[in-house]
């Protein structure tokens, strides 16, 4: 049995997230149906993480088991011929038998984009969060740095999925501002449900002057979700990078 790892990219606008849903169209279901046609047997696809409705992926990893004899390097072309315009396979590699896209993942990076302008840009619809109130990017940069390190992040998560611990390690949390686009880039060994969007909401509160950047360590220690910023809309969120060891890691960093 072959274990094929895919590098994928997708616009999540038309999908109810990655995970297969009973009554909604998902990214995993769409790709799985395409692979089932190609491989001529039911395919169970394992993704590197859950992305919610409207969330995008610049780089995403998924793997599946198959006995079909299609050459590995032909899978992206064969798959793209079956996929809609907003999902694409960009590479494939034969992974070790025990490789699992979510369990084997070392760390992940997300970005969140805000269009901070009084006027909408139709070309950024569903690609960035439109936010017309003025934001202080320097305050936001200071606030972001307080999320770096190992902390209990229960104050910036939504309930909805069970987890053994709410402690995570954030390797970097940075704000970049270019003209009217403000971008958060955050990398961690794992993320809680809505953690990135809640962190972004808290950073936005700092940018609005609703809290001080140096309030954040106390808010994390307190752990009360009601005291931190809002969960930002999904449209500005992208999974941007994932890290693995071995041949899959090489594929994902090309």
Q: Regarding beta strands 87-94 and 46-47, do their DSSP bridges make them parallel or antiparallel, or are they unpaired?
A: unpaired
**Continuous segment of H or E residues that includes residue 246:** helix 246-252
Helix, strand, or coil (residue 169): strand
Which two tokens mark 190? 């794992």
Catalytic status, residue 180 = no
Measured distance CA(152)–CA(214) in Å, rounded: 17
Q: What is the DSSP letter of 98?
A: T
User: Which residue is catalytic, options 11, 52, 98, 180?
Assistant: 52
Cβ neighbours of 40 (radius 10 Å): 10
The distance from CA 14 to its chain's CA centroid, rounded to whole angstroms, is 16
Residues 6+ away with beta carbon under 8 Å from 247: 5, 93, 94, 95, 96
Catalytic residues: 52
């Amino acid at each position: 049995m072959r274990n094929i790892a895919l590098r994928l990219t997708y616009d999540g606008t038309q999908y109810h997230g990655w995970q297969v849903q009973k009554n909604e169209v998902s990214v995993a279901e769409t790709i799985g149906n395409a692979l089932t046609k190609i491989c001529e047997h039911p395919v169970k696809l394992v993704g590197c993480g859950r992305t919610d409705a409207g969330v995008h992926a610049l780089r995403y990893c998924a793997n599946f088991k198959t006995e079909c004899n299609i050459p590995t390097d032909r899978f992206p072309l064969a798959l793209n011929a079956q996929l809609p315009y907003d999902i694409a396979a960009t590479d494939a590699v034969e992974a070790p038998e025990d490789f699992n896209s979510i369990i084997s993942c070392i760390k992940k990076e997300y970005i969140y984009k805000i269009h901070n302008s009084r006027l909408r840009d139709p070309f950024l619809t569903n690609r960035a969060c439109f936010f017309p109130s003025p934001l202080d990017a320097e305050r936001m940069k200071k606030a972001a740095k307080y999320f770096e390190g190992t902390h209990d992040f229960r104050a910036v998560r939504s309930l909805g999925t069970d987890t053994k611990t709410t402690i995570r390690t954030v390797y970097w949390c940075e704000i970049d501002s270019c003209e009217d686009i403000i971008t958060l880039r955050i990398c961690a060994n794992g993320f809680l449900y809505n953690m990135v969007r809640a962190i972004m909401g808290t950073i936005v509160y700092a940018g609005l002057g609703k809290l001080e950047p140096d309030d954040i360590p106390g808010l994390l220690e307190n752990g009360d979700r009601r005291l931190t910023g809002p969960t930002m809309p999904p449209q500005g969120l992208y999974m941007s990078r994932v890290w693995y060891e071995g041949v899959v890691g090489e594929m994902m960093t090309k």
